[in-house]
């Protein structure tokens, strides 16, 4: 029916018989045009399936409709899940979430930030690599783009949203001490501030309970936590140098590897009779309920962290208020008791 295919807003507007700017207004806020106009546009929209060109839309806009999301490692199910929830919220709010992963590398994080910068996003949700981050680059980025930092608290951006390690770790330590031998702490590679915070929280909690904290440092580097848990855990088990039969791992992925190492050596993990080791994790990764035994852990409050991060960013963006004090919003974890500890 319609002659040639409609490619531009100009053609689309002409086909309906109204001016292009009115159509433009419609796309920016359907409520802002008269009801009759809206009806005309919407019926035409069904017929022609026209969609404005994203590049042109954002070319001359004061504020683009895009929100940058950058995570350190997308293949980590924790981040995959966070991203999933964040994308959803952004889309629902009419934004265009645009996703980057640093894949564990500083160079890629910097490149992603540069790309993002040239997109002039309205705001950004940023989980930095942490220790491997180039803080100068991030700092420059945050000067131009309102940014909420999550997960890994580098002292930049307009706000931080994350988990309260100083609540979650002591809670787990309490539980473990109450129900068996005080735990040693199997530390993750210090890729980000959480690593150190969790260790410090462990030490504090143990001392408060009158126990001697025992931290196991680990050689592995990078983000292959399961592999590190398997290799280093295996080494510790072989050398019989573990200072406790209760092992608190600083995250679930490490615990997953550690459990595998224990299994390889015929050691039963769990809190029941005949179990040689208790293993606990932290984060409640999507996979941790499927380990054998299912992993006792602390859940990070995914939903709250995502909701608060996104809400904070939207406030920032709408309010336009920047450079005030920098709130740090921490959510408490919940003890997830399964059978590994």
Partner DNA sequence: AGCAAAAATTTACGTGAGTAAAATTTTTGG
Partner DNA sequence: CCAAAAATTTTACTCACGTAAATTTTTGCT
The interface with a copy of itself within residues 43-62 (CB under 8 A) comprises 49, 51-56, 58-59
Considering only residues 169-198, where is the footprint of a copy of itself by CB under 8 A?
none
Phi and psi of 117, rounded to 5°?
Answer: -60, -40
Q: Is there binding between residue 41 and a copy of itself (CB under 8 A)?
A: no
Grouping H, G, I as helix, E, B as strand and the rest as coil, residue 149 is strand
| Among positions 37, 263, 304, 334, the unique one binding a copy of itself when judged by CB under 8 A | 263
DSSP 94: T
The size of the interface with a copy of itself (CB under 8 A), counted in residues, is 50
Sign of CA dihedral 168, 169, 170, 174: positive
Least separation in angstroms between CB 119 and a copy of itself:
5
**Least gap, CB of 104 to a copy of itself (angstroms):** 9
C-alpha distance from residue 7 to each of 60, 78, 204 (Å): 19, 40, 63
For a copy of itself, which residue of 15, 16, 93, 117 counts as binding (CB under 8 A)? 117
Q: Which does 24 bind (CB under 5 to 8 A by kind): a copy of itself, DNA, none?
A: DNA
Stretch that binds a copy of itself, among 32-40, 122-130, 239-247, 290-298 (CB under 8 A): 290-298
> In whole angstroms, what is the distance from residue 82 CA to residue 305 CA?
9
Q: Rounded CA gap, 222 and 104, in Å?
A: 7
Q: Segment 78-97, which members bind a copy of itself (CB under 8 A)?
A: 80-81, 83-84, 87-88, 91, 96
Q: Does 273 bind a copy of itself (CB under 8 A)?
A: no
Q: Binding segment for a copy of itself among 39-47, 109-117, 166-174, 175-183 (CB under 8 A)?
A: 109-117
State residue 306 phi and psi, 5-degree precision: -65, -50
Distance CA 260, CA 278 (A): 13
Q: How far is the CB of 80 from a copy of itself (least distance, A)?
A: 4
Q: 24 to each of 38, 94, 154, 288, how far by Cα in Å?
A: 12, 15, 40, 48
Give kind and range of the element (H or E) at residue 297: strand 297-299
Site string for a copy of itself, 195-234 (x = CB under 8 A): -------------------------------x---x----
Q: Toward DNA, which CB reaches closer, 22 or 227? A: 22
Please report, for residues 7, 11, 14, 48, the alpha-carbon distance to residue 4 in angstroms, rounded to integers and kept in the order given: 9, 10, 13, 10
Q: In the complex, what is the shortest distance from the CB of residue 34 to a copy of itself, in angstroms, rounded to a whole number?
A: 26
Residue 32 site contact among a copy of itself, DNA, none (CB < 5 to 8 Å, cut-off depends on kind): DNA
DSSP 69: E
The rounded distance, in Å, linking the Cα atoms of 246 and 302 is: 27
Residue 198 dihedral angles phi and psi, to the nearest 5°: -65, -40
Q: Which residues bind DNA (CB under 7 A)?
A: 7-10, 18-22, 24-25, 27-28, 32-34, 36-37, 52-53, 56-57, 59-63
Is the peptide bond between 293 and the residue preceding it cis, with omega within 30 degrees of 0?
yes
Residues 232-261 that bind a copy of itself (CB under 8 A): 256-257, 259-260
Among the residues of 155-192, which ranges form H helices? 165-179
115 binds, among a copy of itself, DNA, none (CB under 5 to 8 A by kind): a copy of itself
CA distance 212 to 197: 18
Please report, as ranges, the residues that interact with a copy of itself according to CB under 8 A.
Answer: 49, 51-56, 58-59, 64, 74-75, 77, 80-81, 83-84, 87-88, 91, 96, 98-101, 103, 108, 111, 114-115, 117-120, 140, 226, 230, 256-257, 259-260, 263, 286-287, 289-294
């Amino acid at each position: 029916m319609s002659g040639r295919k409609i490619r531009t807003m100009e053609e689309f507007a002409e086909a309906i018989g109204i001016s292009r700017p009115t159509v433009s207004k419609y796309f920016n806020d359907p409520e802002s045009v008269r009801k009759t106009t809206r009806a005309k546009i919407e019926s035409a929209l069904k017929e022609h399936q026209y969609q404005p060109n994203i590049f042109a839309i954002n070319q001359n806009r004061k504020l683009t409709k895009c929100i940058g999301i950058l995570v350190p490692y997308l293949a980590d199910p924790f981040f995959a899940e966070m991203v999933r929830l964040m994308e959803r919220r952004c889309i629902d709010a009419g934004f265009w979430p645009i996703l980057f992963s640093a894949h564990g590398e500083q160079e890629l994080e910097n490149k992603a930030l540069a790309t993002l910068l040239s997109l002039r996003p309205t705001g950004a949700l940023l989980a930095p690599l942490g220790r491997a981050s180039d803080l100068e680059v991030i700092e420059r980025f945050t000067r131009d783009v309102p940014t909420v930092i999550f997960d890994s608290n580098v002292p930049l951006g307009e706000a931080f949203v994350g988990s309260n390690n100083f609540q979650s770790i002591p809670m787990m330590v309490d539980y473990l001490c109450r129900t068996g031998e005080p735990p040693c702490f199997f530390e993750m590679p210090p890729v980000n501030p959480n690593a150190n915070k969790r260790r410090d929280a462990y030490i504090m909690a143990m001392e408060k309970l009158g126990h001697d904290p025992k931290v196991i440092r680990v050689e592995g580097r990078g983000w292959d936590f399961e592999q590190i848990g398997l290799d280093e855990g295996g080494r510790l088990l072989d050398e019989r140098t573990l200072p406790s039969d209760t092992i608190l791992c600083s995250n679930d992925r490490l615990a997953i590897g550690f459990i595998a190492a224990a299994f390889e050596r015929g050691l039963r993990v769990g809190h029941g009779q005949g179990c040689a080791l208790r293993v606990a994790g932290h984060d409640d990764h999507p996979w941790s309920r499927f380990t054998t035994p299912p992993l006792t852990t602390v859940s990070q409050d995914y939903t709250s962290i995502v909701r608060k991060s996104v809400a904070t960013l939207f406030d920032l963006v709408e309010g336009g208020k920047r450079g005030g004090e920098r709130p740090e919003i921490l959510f408490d974890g919940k003890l997830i008791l399964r059978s590994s500890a």
